């Protein structure tokens, strides 16, 4: 009988704290927290007070059991919520990295045309000449974007990135945000450097 009562106390406490800590916050309704707690206490109170009529020790033990269960459940719920929030945030950043990486790839493909297409290489020779300041700046921008791409991926703790990427592990949100922001800025600087180099190459072509 005592074990059954103890089990009921544990189950009721877990349900009360769990519902108050998860569903209420999920629905953004602070009043719901009160009603979940109130209902749980109404169910729990008889389990704790009635045994006091026959054994105060038993009642005290049940109170301690309920308190310990409530604390443990609260800690677990908070930890679960934190992990869920971090996972969701990382997934959003992973999607952002995917979009930035696609733009990065397009810029590299645009630049590679001057290296791989013989006609473009002949028409715009300065695009392959690192002694030209604009081309030198472009190469530095390419290297910086590539380096920061890897850093952004590592900050997100991802082995690969792309649509459907599965997010795993843990990471510091500030580090993840900074890594993605730095990569985005580097790709924007790459786009600007490429445009500047192309404009310079066209002016050189026109003589």
What pLDDT is recorded for position 172? 58
Mean pLDDT of 27-45: 77
Separation CA 161–CA 95 (nearest Å):
8
Bigger pLDDT: 107 or 74? 107
User: DSSP readout, 90-112?
Assistant: HHHHHHHHHHHHHHHHHHHHHHH
3-state secondary structure 2-47: HHHHHHHHHHHHHHHHHHHHHHHHHCCCHHHHHHHHHHHHHHHHHH
pLDDT at 158 over 80: no
User: What is the pTM for the complete model shown?
Assistant: 0.64
Per-residue pLDDT tens for 110-148? 999 998 999 998 889 999 899 999 999 999 999 999 999
Mean pLDDT of 16-32: 70
| Tokens encoding 57 | 């020790």
Which sequence spans correspond to the domains of the chain?
Answer: 2-84, 89-206
Separation CA 127–CA 120 (nearest Å):
9
What pLDDT is recorded for position 161? 39
Per-residue pLDDT tens for 51-86? 878 888 888 898 999 999 999 988 888 888 878 888
């Amino acid at each position: 009988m005592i074990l059954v009562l103890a089990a009921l106390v544990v189950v009721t406490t877990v349900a009360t704290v769990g519902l108050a800590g998860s569903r209420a916050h999920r629905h953004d309704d602070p009043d719901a927290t009160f009603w979940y707690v109130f209902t749980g206490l109404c169910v729990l109170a008889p389990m704790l007070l009635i045994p006091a009529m026959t054994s105060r020790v038993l009642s005290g033990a049940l109170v301690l059991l309920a308190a310990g269960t409530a604390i443990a459940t609260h800690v677990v719920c908070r930890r679960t919520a934190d992990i869920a929030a971090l996972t969701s945030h990382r997934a959003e950043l992973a999607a952002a990295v995917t979009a930035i990486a696609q733009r990065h790839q397009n810029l590299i493909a645009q630049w590679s045309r001057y290296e791989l297409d013989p006609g473009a290489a002949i028409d715009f020779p300065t695009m392959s000449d690192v002694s030209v300041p604009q081309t030198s700046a472009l190469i530095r921008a390419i290297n910086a974007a590539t380096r920061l791409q890897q850093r952004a991926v590592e900050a997100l703790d991802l082995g690969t990135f792309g649509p459907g990427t599965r997010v795993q592990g843990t990471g510091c949100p500030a580090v993840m945000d900074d890594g993605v922001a730095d990569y985005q800025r580097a790709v924007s600087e790459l786009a600007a450097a490429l445009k500047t180099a192309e404009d310079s190459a066209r002016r050189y072509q026109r003589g």
